Each structure stands twice: as C-alpha cells, then as structure tokens.
Structure 1
C-alpha cells in the first residue's frame, strides 16, 4: 500500500516501471534518476514536519495584519536562514485590518437558547449590546438574491445551504459564494445582519470562519457562521414559527496594517534568471493554529526546496519559495507579488502552490501551453509510483498563484486529497495533530521531484502546440 511505501520500495517500483519511449526521449535519464532519488529522500524527510510543527507551536494562529503574522515572518526568516537558503527576504505591503473581539448569538422568546457562531472575516460590529431581529431562512444564496427589494427590512437573512463533500474541493464553490456574498446581498434588500450555515462538510458543533466580500476593513453587515448542528436547530425552530435571534459581534478594524511575503531562493546556474516558483501562505485564521491551512503547505514547499539545495550541483534554474502573506482575508500577498514582480513574470517558467491541506497528492493537473503537455506527462511518469495520476490542463493554480497564471505564467497543480479538508478548514480543529506524517512526506517527495525536473531542464512550459500538418488539416 502507498501508505506504507518506503524509499526502498519506491526505488524498486520505479526500477520496475521504466520510462516510456516518449518519456525517455523527453527527459534526460540523469535528471529522472536524480528526481527519483529526491523522492526517496522526501519520503523520509523530517524538515517539513519540523517546520510545520514549529510554526504552529511557537507562533500559533497568524491572523493577517496582526502582531502574530509579523512574528511569523520574522520566525520564517530565521528558519530559512538556518536551512542555508542563499537568499531570504521580506517584501512588505499593507492591508485593511480586521480582528474579532467577541461573538455571541442566541434565540430569544419562547424557546430561548444559545447558538454556536463565529464572525465571518470582515464582519461589521453590531451595536454594543447586540441586535435582535426576526430570522428569514433561504435555501441558497441564489434564493436570497431573488428576494424582493426591501423584503428583509429590519430582519436577519439566514442562508442554510449545505456543502457537499468532494475529493478535489470542486463542490465548495456555492458554499464559499454564500459566505462571500451574504452580507452585501442581504444589505441591499434591507437586512440588518446575515447568518450562514458554515462552509464545512462536517457535522460538529464547531463553526467555520472565513472571509467575505468587503470594501476596506469591513463588509456591509454584521455576519456570522453557524455550526452545522446549530443551523439545523435554527431551521427546525423556524418550522415551528417565527424566530428572533440576538446577535452580538464586536470587532477591531484599521484602514492599514503591515503584512508581507517571505521569499527564499535556491540559486540556479546556467539559467539562473529563469524562475520556478513554489508557494504556500503563511497567515491563517485565528480559531485554530492554521496547521492544515496552510502551515502544512509551507512545510511541504520549504522541505522540497531544501532537499534540492542540498544536492552537490545547483539546478539550472532558480527555485523561488514564496510564503505569501494575508491570503485568507483577500489574497493580498498573491496580488502584491504579481504587482511587485510584473517586469519579470516572463522569466517565471512554472509555478505551483500547496494550499489544500496535507492529504496525499492523487493527481497532477496543469495550465501550460499545449505544446508542453508532453513535459507534464513525463513529470507525472516520474511521480506515478507515489499514486499520482495525470489529469487535465485546465488549472489556474492555487489561490495566490492564480494572479501569475492570469499573467501567462504556466502552472502545475499537484492536487491533494481534500475529502476531509472542509471538516477542519477555518475551525478550532485545524491543529498540527491532524496531519498524517506519511501523507505529508508523500507531498514533499512529489514537490521535490517535480520542482527539480522543472528547474533542471530547459523546457518551455509556454510552448504552443505544433501547427497541424496539411494531412491533419484536411
């Protein structure tokens, strides 16, 4: 089983699975052999797990723009320099700052009881003593959008849309949309606040936070997420008649707070001006310690780059590791990096991002030129013994590198198994103990091999498809 795959077993599997003729022509056997050796090292690597454990233990939650995020940047600089990265530096930027202070909700009237909620990132504050209003339930954001103008005057909108579990996270779109849009849509039709069923696939009495669309530090209304059982409870009460809820959310905001991206490099050799970027995000929400989202991703990419920099010879291309800041509250780090490096994005030959937990990578998607698909296939052939299949070429990359993709930078997307990702995502349960070390090391092995191949070849991942021949055109 892959769960118990050892480096020795991996070597045996790879030896028994020689490259296809096409792959042998594309990928230099020496590069392939070194990539396999890096995979073997990755499967027994401790650096990534130690990096993740240290970040989540010594810093803990790392809310964007907070003192804790500042400490995380300083901590990361020390760790990266201790690992002997040739360059480690911070690129500063500022963001609108939001922080929760208190959050409570309760049903009032004939069925009084507390509800378990958490404020959504960017929520406005209620009056000091809270607000009381009648609840109006909607099955989806679309239903709320279809509500008549002024039909919610003085009331609280409640979107009770469930999230469906999926391996690749593809079904999270509607759930995230309700979190992002509830406040603005409800405000436009007169509501005084918004509640949503948490964006999560679990049934624990533990709400999931997350950001919503907003202008500046705050959104349009006070907004909170109910734990799934509390959303069920509220729905059952509404079946019995009108329900009034007291909601009290207090927050701190600032028009500007310091944030930044932490960057480290493994300097290249003959093609050192060309960049292979691998990234993660350093910030987290404040309920847990941000282990799954996304300290694990940072540990994975740092460990992969560290394995490559320990090789006797430099790779041809420079490998740039970017620990993005302030992803959770609006992808500020991704935007800031793309803006700061706009003049050199043409030198970014490939980018990848680890930001979907610490589950096993199960498939490889891409967003490259049609003529470069043979390169992606060759790369997948190397990591296939890790249980990674080849998928489509429709990826735009992870959240932070999608700005690079939009600017024409090719992306590679080693997709993790996210079946249980939204059980932990943005909750107090996002802690280090939830990481499976074997799955984590499989990620390190895959990232090390894929990054090395991209950095050691001279492949053009923007390569267009070859023109059709006359026979093909007929």
Structure 2
C-alpha cells in the first residue's frame, strides 16, 4: 500500500475529524430558515391568537381548577383544537385535591374598627363558623417570621408585610410568592391562628387583593390564610404603628372538599418525517377565579394554539410533530405539568425542544436555552430569526421551559425560556383585574410569532437538541 506523506496524512485526518464534528452539529437547513422567516412575518400580522383568548375569556371566563367552569374550559379547548384543524386532539387525566372558595371577609375590630379588602389563598382552611378574632403580629419579611419566638405567634394572626417592586423580568415575585407559599406553613407550625400577607403584587393603589396557592400539603396542617390588597396592608401597618394591640376578625368559608379528576387537553400537528418526535409548547388552561384569566394564562393557551395553527397551515407539514398542551391546574401546584412529566418521562428523548408561555402577553424580549453544546448553532439560528422582532438571546441563561414544562425539563427535555416584558404583569396577576383589556393584540401576535418560529425551526432541524433522561440536571433553570 502506498504511504501518504505525513503532511497529507495529517490534513486528511483533520478533514475527517472536521467532517465527523460537522455531522454531530444540530443545524436548521437553509430552506427551513427561509420558510421560518415567512412564517414569522405572517404571524406578526395575524390575529388568531387574540381571537382565541377572546373566545376563552368570553365564552368560559374564570376557570378555577375543579369548578364547573373548569369542565367548560376543557370542552372549549377540545372544540377549539378541532376547529383550528389540529390533526389529533385528546385528553390525559389529571387528579388533584378539590379546593373551593365560597366567601371571605375581614375587619379590624380594635383599636380602629374598619373593613379590610382581602382574598383567601388556595388550600387555606376555613375559619370556625362565625369567624375568628385574634390579635395581629406583624413581620416585615419571611426571614423575620422564621426567627420569631413561637410564643410570640401562638394563637395570633400572623401578618407578613413584604414588598415587591416592578421588574421587567418579574424577579421580585420570588419575594411575594415565597411569603405566600411558605409563610402560612411556618405560621401553622408555630401555632398561629391564621395568616395574612401583603398581596404578592405591584399595584400599590388598587384595592384588589392577589390570590394564589399556599404550601399546605395536608389539610390537617392548614390554617386560614389570605392576602390583603396593598392599600389595606398599608392601612393595617399604620394602625399597628400606633403601638396598641390590633385585633382582626377573619371569616373565611373555603377548603378542600374531595378529589377532582380533570385533564390536560392536547392538540397535535403530525410530523411528516418523524411523527414520534415532538416539539412541545403550551399554556395552562385553569385560572384563578376573581378575573377572567386573560393574562394568566388564557394568553399562553392562545399563543400556543395559534402558533400550532399557523404551522399547520403552511404549504408542507413540519418534519416533526408540533404538540400543544393546555395544562390542567397549574395554579394550585403544577398538577397538570407534573402528571404529564410522570406519564411521559420514559419518552423524554423524543422531545426535540419545548417551552410554555405563562407570563402574560407583553412582548417577548429575551431567550435562554438549555440544549446540548452541539445544538448551540441551531439556537443561534433561531436567535437570529427572532432578533428582528425584538428578542435578545442570552447565551448564559438556561431554558427552564416555563411553569408546567419545567417538569419535563427536569426529566431531561431540552428547553427554552422565552421571557415576556413583565413590568406591569404583577399589577394584575391573580386579581379581579386579570381581564382581556390587558392584552394588546399586536403584542400578543409577536408572542405567537416567537413560538411559531422557534417551534417550526426546531421541528425542521437536522439533529436534536440533547433531550435525554437527566440531561439537564442542576442547570439552574428557573421553574
């Protein structure tokens, strides 16, 4: 056999290695990039998403998990998927505790009698019939409550007065939600009679309290728990500043009444080459009951449905399946997302890429990704396609997948984080003001364009994004 000169042999080896490395890189073909550009531009002027969220909030309205409206919402979603032309529409059962809200009332009875605007929190226990009256003890943070002497709390109404401020990325919600979820549990263990918090919201001048879930896992451990509107929290703090004992009468009629069987509702656009491989997007179908669940999360459901519809209507079907999920009962503990992840964990390698919309309907301004290193090139291509419509790519930010899909990400699904502008989101979140007028149709269309574009490009990619069991453990993605 004729020997190659050393320099030629080295060059041949380098070429071979380069070819092999190129073969392992995930990229989006040029033709798919061109089609994605056309899809993006069409979505930016399409009003399908707004029509969907208008339909949901008008025809169904608020959708508290387990309520009669929950069932109407599921039927609406099934019918809407079919009307939009999805190839396959089905449900997957989700069971969870049935918590019901019936009424809530509170008033300062001493030293300065006056009513308070408040709302019961999810999994709160009821007060005794006729209500309970107890002295209030105030803490300015969750840490302060944790450090308190239990004797100073026992038999009293704990009030945690932690403040949130407006942030574009909504990061202060960790403060408010931390108090709301963890505070009642801590207060219960310390022997408190009940728990109040300053609403986890940023609307300083609105007497619309923000509801949300507590961290109670067992009804036997639950105590009455509620959120005061921000002005009422201010008022209670002023009353306490007089230095006199302050007593509140709290009357909550709510609680867990059994187990409910709901369902995730799923629509698919079947892939033509790899129908068993899926790009998954979605939102959660349930909402809290004071408003109509427009920004939380009717918008997310509408964004995902509209994105799937636009991909369905393209001249050629995508190579992989586009799966849109309207998740059940996110609000009281990610029940739909957790059930979905448990059911599909063994199939995680078939999940190409995923992301859920659950942060309102303002414009998407930032993208992060959790993918294998060899797929960063494809992510760069997606980022370049989204940049002209206002989305910046943060290469250091992990992709958590959104609220419910964080559970599939935890199983190993490659995921994006697509951050909407949340500057005023927590003005309306979980309140009676979560209504359709808070959604700008053009901003919603930009969201649809983002989801349709990334979903299509991921579906057409040559190669995968790295989904595998445990692939992204401890990547720091937000849940």
Match of 1:317 in 2: 320
Give 1:456's match in structure 2, choosing from 451, 455, 460.
Answer: 460
Q: What are structure 1's unaligned runs of at least 5 residues? A: 1-24, 465-474
Pairing 1:426–2:427 present: no
Give 1:307's match in structure 2, choosing from 306, 310, 313.
Answer: 310
Shift of residue 30 of structure 1?
Answer: 1.3
Contact 2:27-2:462 at 8 Å conserved across structures: no
Q: Deviations over 1:229-276 (max 9, x none)?
A: 100100010010221000000014222012110000000011111110
Contact 1:370-1:463 at 8 Å conserved across structures: no
Contact 1:91-1:260 at 8 Å conserved across structures: yes
Pairing 1:55–2:53 present: no
Give 2:215's match in structure 1, choosing from 208, 213, 222.
Answer: 213
Shift of residue 412 of structure 1?
Answer: 1.1
Pairing 1:373–2:371 present: no
RMSD: 1.6
Shift of residue 215 of structure 1?
Answer: 1.8
Pairing 1:169–2:170 present: yes
User: What is the distance in 2 between the residues matched to 1:246 and 1:459?
Assistant: 62
Contact 2:279-2:321 at 8 Å conserved across structures: yes
Pairing 1:413–2:417 present: yes
Match of 1:192 in 2: 193
Secondary structure of the equivalent of 1:319? Answer: strand
TM score, norm. by length of structure 1: 0.91
Q: Which moved more, 1:288-297 or 1:86-95?
A: 86-95
Contact 1:123-1:219 at 8 Å conserved across structures: no
Match of 2:405 in 1: 401
User: What is the distance in 2 between the residues matched to 1:379 and 1:362?
Assistant: 14
Secondary structure of the equivalent of 1:150? Answer: helix
Shift of residue 446 of structure 1?
Answer: 1.1
Change (3 A) 1:216 1:189: closer
Give 1:387's match in structure 2, choosing from 390, 411, 428.
Answer: 390
Secondary structure of the equivalent of 2:248? Answer: strand
User: What is the distance in 1 between the residues matched to 2:96 and 2:111?
Assistant: 44
Shift of residue 217 of structure 1?
Answer: 5.5
Following superposition, which runs of at least 4 residues in structure 1 exceed 4 angstroms of deviation?
216-219
Match of 1:22 in 2: none
Contact 1:218-1:253 at 8 Å conserved across structures: no
Q: Deviations over 1:422-458 (max 9, x none)?
A: 0010000000011011110011111111110001113
User: What is the distance in 2 between the residues matched to 1:208 and 1:294?
Assistant: 15
Q: Deviations over 1:13-49 (max 9, x none)?
A: xxxxxxxxxxxx9432211111111111111212211
**How many residues are aligned here?**
441
Q: Deviations over 1:272-292 (max 9, x none)?
A: 111100010000000000000
TM score, norm. by length of structure 2: 0.90
Pairing 1:46–2:43 present: no
Give 2:229's match in structure 1, choosing from 217, 227, 241.
Answer: 227
Match of 1:141 in 2: 142
Match of 2:78 in 1: 77
Q: Deviations over 1:187-217 (max 9, x none)?
A: 1112100000000011111100000111246
Give 2:283's match in structure 1, choosing from 262, 280, 286.
Answer: 280
User: What is the distance in 1 between the residues matched to 2:276 and 2:191?
Assistant: 55
Secondary structure of the equivalent of 1:248? Answer: strand
Contact 1:157-1:186 at 8 Å conserved across structures: yes
Change (3 A) 1:218 1:359: farther
User: Equivalent residues in 2 for 1:26-45 (5 A)?
Assistant: 26-45=27-46
User: What is the distance in 2 between the residues matched to 1:190 and 1:333?
Assistant: 33
Contact 1:331-1:400 at 8 Å conserved across structures: yes
Secondary structure of the equivalent of 1:323? Answer: strand
Task: Work out which of the two has the higher radius of gyration on C-alpha atoms and give 1 or 2.
Answer: 2
